[in-house]
Structure 1
């Protein structure tokens, strides 16, 4: 981390605290919905439009709602931060919403009420994610620092996201807790309390220690549409659009796993602790590799990591549908994490390289929006596809990974000046 702007490190620590809160809920909400403590709508077993409503599908929808609303709003919040030349105020507002909604989970008693809270939480997250990423990009003093900045930021964010599920499982399992005066706190409410603390810690760090730099206000139109076609005659698709599609497909592959907690545990004859470790393996691999890969992409180029990571992604995802023991699932998840680490920071760095001055919030929101949509679609897709067989959701993720590889390898050029990039797959026109 030597040479990294102090504000980037503070933002990374703040995002780590917030990520602990969010990752707690990824593990806790499925358990909460399945626990019987929450009144369900009585739809289980019904067939709607040819699909049977299962508990997994209800869980997947609840998990996905955050991502859908979060992602839909991100282009607007990213654009707003560009237009006003402000980042910090929107980050703090979003963190406030996340804290309040985490408290609200403790008071809901129906599935429908939980969905309302989840939706509000998604809108709050839309103010945090693109503006934080844009601020990290703004703090890069040159292109040769951008990958390193994103590597540091993602490392700390993923530490929170990776270790949160493990701690969440312990907190829920160790409950209920007897407090002073004989007050009893359930394991679920204790987990929601930890989520609140994460958001408040993040709010405090940003408020006290982050001073945003002067940035140019974007003077472009209010049009937030995404360019699809490339500008050069020999380039079929816009590279930002392609990176958005690649990020979407990668995020779907990551999010397929969460909905299938009960199915995975049954198939592998394992307990919730094993699942928490396997879920976190993708993130732990990212924690170890994000920083060195980000810095390496500043030296030798972005494209080798983008293409190499996507080469690994498809087999790593497919393997998760084929393994039959906890240890082999862990290995597959670790390789999945390696592939994501090779793609994530370099993709953000490419978007930052291509962003026009004062428009990093708008440009980078394409990738953060795509990632959010992927985390929303993934649980829903696995809930729907699981009925056709355990391997089917993972085979679907592997097909998407191959599509992402072809698109990125043929349509995304190297953006780091002077980089020497091996041509793993010839680009269009070559």
Structure 2
């Protein structure tokens, strides 16, 4: 059996625990990304009632989607630091997955805006337990010489799940109701929520059986967990980890502008929910294809060139979405925006992993994951507020953020690979 498992793992060239964790994140990613498509449709379906707090449908949808990111990101530094203090990763991941599964089932009983806000918020807190601990575990199972590749494989699997969800979520809702065993009938929305819950439960099982903490995590618990803003070396103004956090926030905001304004996009391009799902998934498709090769390439050629190039590419690919009038061209724009993000994400995680000391992975890497989560929250909220001033305005706003992010990365972040590779014993597998 071990030989069979090793043959499966061999092409990925990663620790089997990294691959198992990646598979678990792929499963829960399918369910979680379902909701990005399903919730806006659910809000406008007529099922949801009660006070909308004086907000229009686009704005209340943005708030519901965004509260997940705000709470998720706000709690990540605390869960990341606590996992560093305790020297444990797996228990945090399991707590988060359990909470995610329970909240996915709770959507079946949600019929008011307030209830949707509460459930989505609790999901955000649950995922805050998962993300820092998962990324820290991948970092601790890697070395400088293969860290980018490990991050790439992890993100590839996670994004396969995240991309698969939107591609089929609209169809699951549209083709309902469904007869289960010929007796029980559930509508399309409930089917989507149950699928999301099942995927989270599957992830819980995979982590329970196949993932374990490395011994070094507990041995190095309790290191210095402070996060400086200014560069302590004096070579730049800002600390590189903080800078990458800001750039990740800007990037995620620009990426997430698309999610909230589904009705406006569909009306402008004269398309249906299926096209929108494909356009949303195009971003993920590019990352799925490129995360692993880019991660491995940055282990060989350096982290910084990929990060800078990705931030620069983000500028035109974001701006174009505000001017496109074709469904096919919107798909292409989202595809190349995904290329830009793929060039930034895995190399950034690898660079921060290079800089993190023993026992600091949860705290240091949570800066990037927290910033990215805040961006995913701010993006939908921003587009929901700005689209009233014109369809192009949200994308012009995102482009401006991408420009600032590119400048910050180019001026404030230096290469780490050549420095660490010169240290004896570092950079080898």
State the TM-score, normalizing by the size of structure 2: 0.93
Q: What residue number does 1:25 align with?
A: 35
Show CA shifts across 1:383-414 (max 9, x none). Answer: 01011100000010000000000000000000
Q: What residue number does 1:50 align with?
A: none
Structure 1 residue 109 displacement after superposition: 1.3
Is the 2:223–2:359 Cα contact (8 Å) retained in structure 1? no
Work out whether 1:264 is the aligned partner of 2:274. no
For the residues of structure 1 that align with 2:193 and 2:385, how far apart are their CA atoms? 28
Is the 2:174–2:188 Cα contact (8 Å) retained in structure 1? yes
For the residues of structure 2 that align with 1:200 and 1:332, how far apart are their CA atoms? 35
For the residues of structure 2 that align with 1:182 and 1:209, how far apart are their CA atoms? 37
Show CA shifts across 1:173-227 (max 9, x none). Answer: 1101122353220100000001001101110110001122111343346xx6631
For the residues of structure 2 that align with 1:83 and 1:133, how far apart are their CA atoms? 16
Is the 2:52–2:113 Cα contact (8 Å) retained in structure 1? no
Q: What residue number does 1:174 align with?
A: 175
Is the 2:250–2:401 Cα contact (8 Å) retained in structure 1? yes
Structure 1 residue 336 displacement after superposition: 0.2
Is the 2:138–2:151 Cα contact (8 Å) retained in structure 1? yes
Structure 1 residue 254 displacement after superposition: 1.2
Work out whether 1:341 is the aligned partner of 2:342. yes
Of stretches 29-38 and 207-216 in structure 1, the one that deviates more from structure 2 is 207-216
Is the 1:299–1:419 Cα contact (8 Å) retained in structure 2? no
Q: What residue number does 1:218 align with?
A: 221
Q: What residue number does 1:202 align with?
A: 203
Show CA shifts across 1:221-248 (max 9, x none). Answer: 6xx6631100122310000000000000
Q: What residue number does 1:245 align with?
A: 246
For the residues of structure 2 that align with 1:180 and 1:162, how far apart are their CA atoms? 29
Q: What residue number does 1:62 align with?
A: 64
Is the 2:354–2:420 Cα contact (8 Å) retained in structure 1? no
Secondary structure class of the residue paired with 2:146: helix
1:104-183 equivalences under 5 Å are 104-140=106-142, 142-180=143-181, 182-183=183-184
For the residues of structure 1 that align with 2:50 and 2:166, how far apart are their CA atoms? 24
State the number of aligned residues. 409
1:25-104 equivalences under 5 Å are 25-44=35-54, 53-104=55-106
Secondary structure class of the residue paired with 1:256: helix
What CA RMSD, in Å, does the superposition of the two structures yield over aligned residues? 1.4
Is the 2:96–2:130 Cα contact (8 Å) retained in structure 1? yes
Q: What residue number does 2:427 align with?
A: none
Secondary structure class of the residue paired with 2:323: coil
Of stretches 54-63 and 224-233 in structure 1, the one that deviates more from structure 2 is 224-233
For the residues of structure 2 that align with 1:2 and 1:43, how far apart are their CA atoms? 49
Q: Which runs of 5+ in 2 are unaligned?
A: 1-10, 422-429
Structure 1 residue 166 displacement after superposition: 1.1
Secondary structure class of the residue paired with 1:184: strand
Is the 2:86–2:222 Cα contact (8 Å) retained in structure 1? no
Q: What residue number does 2:278 align with?
A: 277
Q: What residue number does 2:366 align with?
A: 365
Of stretches 276-285 and 180-189 in structure 1, the one that deviates more from structure 2 is 180-189
Show CA shifts across 1:83-135 (max 9, x none). Answer: 01100011001000000000000011111011111111111000001000000
Secondary structure class of the residue paired with 1:311: helix
Is the 1:385–1:392 Cα contact (8 Å) retained in structure 2? yes
Structure 1 residue 418 displacement after superposition: 6.2
For the residues of structure 2 that align with 1:169 and 1:225, how far apart are their CA atoms? 44
Work out whether 1:186 is the aligned partner of 2:187. yes
Is the 2:12–2:153 Cα contact (8 Å) retained in structure 1? no
Secondary structure class of the residue paired with 1:143: coil
Q: What residue number does 1:286 align with?
A: 287
State the TM-score, normalizing by the size of structure 1: 0.93
Taking structure 1 as reference, are residues 397 and 207 closer, same or farther at Cα in structure 2, changes over 3 Å only?
same
Work out whether 1:382 is the aligned partner of 2:383. yes
Is the 1:301–1:419 Cα contact (8 Å) retained in structure 2? no
Q: Which runs of 5+ in 1 are unaligned?
A: 45-52, 421-430
For the residues of structure 2 that align with 1:13 and 1:136, how far apart are their CA atoms? 13
For the residues of structure 1 that align with 2:52 and 2:253, how far apart are their CA atoms? 28
Work out whether 1:297 is the aligned partner of 2:307. no
Is the 2:353–2:365 Cα contact (8 Å) retained in structure 1? yes
Q: What residue number does 1:396 align with?
A: 397
For the residues of structure 1 that align with 2:159 and 2:248, how far apart are their CA atoms? 16
Secondary structure class of the residue paired with 2:359: coil
Of stretches 228-237 and 304-313 in structure 1, the one that deviates more from structure 2 is 228-237
Structure 1 residue 3 displacement after superposition: 2.1
